[in-house]
Chains A and B, each alone.
Chain A
Amino acid sequence: MWASFWQSLGEAFTIIGSGNPLMNEVVATTMKMAVTSSIISFLIGAPLGLLLATYNFKGKKVLVIICRTLMGLPPVAIGILVYLLFRGIGPFGQLRLIFTVTAMIIAQVLLITPVVVGMVETSAESTGKALLETRRGIGLGSTRTFLLMANENKYQLMAAYLFAFARATAEVGAVQIVGGNILHKTMVMTTYIALNYNTGNLEFAVALGIIIVAITLGFNLVGGVLQIIGTRKKKR
């Protein structure tokens, strides 16, 4: 009953406190994957989102629809796609990337970039409209416009990055397929939990779960606060 629940939780905290080497390794792999993929996604997605929010151009609607579609795809679908492309006999099989952290990062970037684009576009759209007359009227070049758009939306951009990072940490479907949850290589927190909770050590899985919840909760919380600050500033 409840006693078993509290017991597992207690043991999990003991593991977190003990500095278990496997746990450090799994957390480190996760961080490597999440940091890299969220930075790449942000560097691609944020400028694209700002661009979509600033300018009207042919094909913009199509781009937005593609983004929305990708945003809604189940991660396992992206996982399978990357798997087909990078497995030994696939078109990019020569690169030998399947079941590596790099393959996991590729899948994550495909998953998270559209989310970043969508989030940045949505939050910067009002700025794009509001400064349209001024931008054209005073003849601001595209570089200046872009930098100003980024500055006007700096809190939303920070929030978008934090959400991307939290998402990368918590994602399991795609990285499980392309990473394979290999011990000492591609095992990350989520895949350990998904695949080892009943074969390995349950308390270990619970410990990892606690860490994930702490990270995603923390990042989403800070991101949410930044969004609120950004929206308040805009209302002035």
Chain B
Amino acid sequence: MKIVAKKTFDRKVLDVDVQLEEHKIYALIGANGSGKSTLLKVLSSVINPDTDSSIDIPFKNDEVYYMPQMPYTFDLSVYNNIKLGIPLKYSTGEKIYCKYRIDTMLKTIDLYQLRKANAQTLSGGERQKMALIRSLVVRHNLLLLDEPTSAMDINATLKAEELIIKYKEEFDGTIIMATHSIKQAQRLADVVLFLDNGEIKEIADAQTFIDHPQSDELKDFLQKI
């Protein structure tokens, strides 16, 4: 799938023209303000791209799911927050299966005992676990995760990655996830995209990134990790 996306705020923030393959996990790395979230938001129609650019992806709007960098926590139980990820049109059978998946994921990531608690009493990391589970309940043709483990400790991060891998194995959808960790990219992603100043500077697998960074910007970025 070809992605062409431009976004200008008061200055140019995003100018991307890239060819991606379906059924792969992409990691999006880059410094603060490099445009990672903006790209994901444009792809999911959370914000509109510039009028002179078309975002060109082979999916309908409701086939793309975006987990924001800071998801909203609704004044509901953890369980009901997660259930918002189940489409209303699902049949009873499908809903039962979704609930089974939710329970399994809650247990994997140690949130099961908090499922009935009000979500607004949760810690930052717990809220992020909840939002991640919500995004993994059903299959999305394109799943966009914006730093989904940024608030989690290392154990939780590894468990969250396990959930993402299981989702990929079961549903085989395309995933693009922003992350600040090249290690995480190495563990999860087939392909890494390096975003610098709104442009994709390099595309390769994580190992190549680490062993043979091409641009000075990427060298600089990786050195400090």
Contacts and interface: CB of A to CB of B under 8 A. Distances in A.
Contact of B67 (A137, A148, A236): A137
A133 B75 contact: no
Interface stretch (A46-54, A102-110, A139-147): A139-147
A131 B84 contact: no
A130 B88 CA distance: 23
A117 B125 CA distance: 37
Contact of A233 (B41, B45, B85, B120): B120
Interface string B78-109: 00000011011000000000000000000000
A57 to B, nearest CB: 15
A11 interface: no
A136 interface: yes
B75 A152 contact: yes
Given A144-B84, A144-B88, A137 B44 contact: yes
Given A151-B74, A151-B75, A152-B74, A137 B65 contact: yes
B134 A138 contact: yes
Contacts of B45: 136
A137 B120 contact: no
Given A148-B74, A151-B74, A151-B75, A138 B85 contact: yes
B84 A138 contact: yes
A151 B76 contact: yes
A136 B46 contact: yes
A131 B72 contact: yes
B24 to A, nearest CB: 21
Contacts of A130: 72
Given A144-B88, A236-B120, A137 B66 contact: yes
Question: Main secondary structure on chain B at its contact with chain A?
Answer: loop
B68 A133 contact: yes
Nearest to A130: B72
Contact of B75 (A140, A141, A233): A233
Interface residues of B, number: 25
B46 A139 contact: no
Nearest to B89: A141
A84 B120 CA distance: 52
B68 A137 contact: yes
A134 B72 contact: yes
Interface string B37-75: 000010011100000000000000110011110111011
Interface of B: 41, 44-46, 61-62, 65-68, 70-72, 74-76, 84-85, 87-88, 120-121, 134-135, 144
Interface of A: 130-141, 143-144, 148, 151-152, 233, 236
Given A130-B72, A151-B74, A151-B76, 7 more contacts: A133-B66, A136-B46, A137-B44, A137-B144, A139-B61, A141-B88, A236-B120
7 closest Cβ contacts across the A-B interface?
A: A137-B66, A134-B72, A131-B72, A133-B68, A136-B46, A236-B120, A139-B62
22 contacts: A130-B72, A131-B72, A131-B74, A133-B41, A133-B68, A133-B70, A133-B72, A134-B68, A135-B72, A136-B45, A136-B66, A137-B44, A137-B65, A137-B67, A137-B144, A138-B66, A138-B67, A138-B84, A139-B65, A144-B84, A148-B74, A152-B75
